[in-house]
Amino acid sequence: MKKILLVIFISSVLVSTSFSQFNWNKKPMNLKVLPDTTSGQTLRLIMINFAQSLGVRCSFCHDDSKGKEFSDIDFPSDAKPEKETAREMMKMMGAINNNFISKLKKNSDGNVLEVKCITCHRGYHEPIELSALLMNTYKKGGLDASMKRYDELKDQYYGGYAFNFKENSLDRFGKNLLDNGSGKDALTVLQKNAELFPDWAGAFESLGDVNAKLGKKEEAIKNYKKAIEMNPRDKRVQDKLDDLE
């Protein structure tokens, strides 16, 4: 496990100004998962990898109550619960790689498979799908809040790998709303998705589904026909259309 943990994290080559200027202890303190032999330089690279994988700064896990400057951060302190969470995640990742991934065949490129922080976090502090994040926002603040969050996240993360901004995310969010009895809001979300992805037949199938559920038969028929026009071989949509006609 010790070897795996070190190999997993020592992968970052980008060093921020604050990291490079800070005088790291040659002998790190309060290590509870990493081996006691971990050097300050090794720990520095591990911390850089953490920060980049989660898209956060050091103060996300480490105590900065003494001041906001990098040199004020109390790295050995266990004051923040996020630090203990990080330790548990390190243990989990080591167990997955040692007990499960190590037993799998190498991938098609011949490389050893391994789970890393970036595997789930993808540059965001919470490992969550976009549709689930939007649903959580909806439960707290309603449709306007969730769509505002979508636009904000898209502005910030589009082009990266933190979130999937392709057609499936809003489609899944809309279907979740429909399944939870919020048909009118689902219609709004799925209409937006069809506007964003007018060449995807699935967007119009979903619009057909929500309109059918809301009793808007003519709209549902129109949407199903649009989907079939774009994908004539989809018998499943044709069956839905036949049921309405």
pLDDT of residue 18 exceeding 50, the answer is no
Report pLDDT for 70: 82
Quote the crossing angle between the two packed helices 167-179 and 183-196, to the nearest 10°: 170
Q: pLDDT: is 95 or 4 the higher one?
A: 95
pLDDT over threshold 80, residue 4: no
- Residue finishing a domain among 102, 121, 140: 121
pLDDT in tens, 147-205: 999 999 999 999 999 999 999 999 999 999 999 999 999 999 999 999 999 999 999 99
Query: What percentage of the chain has pLDDT greater than the value 70?
Result: 89
Q: Do residues 104 and 140 both lie within one domain?
A: no
pLDDT bracket for residue 68 (50, 70, 90): confident
Predicted pLDDT of residue 22: 53
- Identify the burial level of 121 via C-beta atoms within 10 angstroms of its C-beta, where 0-12 means exposed, 13-18 middle and 19 or more buried: buried
Do 152 and 232 belong together in one domain? Answer: yes
Assign 25 a pLDDT band (cuts: 50, 70, 90): low
pLDDT at 144 > cutoff 70:
yes
Q: How far is it, in rounded angstroms, from Cα 88 to Cα 82? A: 10
* Of the residues 94, 121, 148, the one at which a domain ends: 121
Given a cut of 70, whether residue 30 has pLDDT beyond it is yes
Number of domains in the chain: 2
CATH number at residue 238: 1.25.40.10
Residues 145 and 113 in one domain: no
Strand-pair partners of 63: 74
Q: Report, as an integer, the average pLDDT of 93-114.
A: 85
Q: Do 43 and 144 sit in the same domain of this protein?
A: no
* 96 & 172 share domain: no
Q: Which domain holds residue 200?
A: 130-244
10 pLDDT above the threshold of 50 = no
pTM of this prediction exceeds 0.85: no
Domain check: are 142 and 117 in the same one? no
Residue 32 has pLDDT above 50, yes or no: yes
89, 121, 153 - which closes a domain: 121
pLDDT of residue 20: 47
Q: What is the CATH number of the domain that holds 104?
A: 1.10.468
> What is the average pLDDT value for the chain, to the nearest integer?
89
Query: Cα separation of 74 and 64, whole Å?
Result: 6
Residues 240 and 167 occupy one common structural domain: yes
CA angle centred on 115, ends 113 and 120, rounded to 5°: 135
Shared domain for 96 and 9, answered yes or no, is yes
pLDDT confidence of residue 23: 60
Check pLDDT > 60 for residue 16.
no
Do 136 and 114 fall into the same domain? no
pLDDT tens across 105-132, in order? 776 777 778 899 999 999 999 999 999 9
Say yes or no: 117 and 134 in one domain.
no
Residues 142 and 68 in one domain: no
* The pLDDT value given to residue 8: 38
State whether 113 and 150 are in the same domain: no
Contact 9, 50 (CB under 8 A): yes
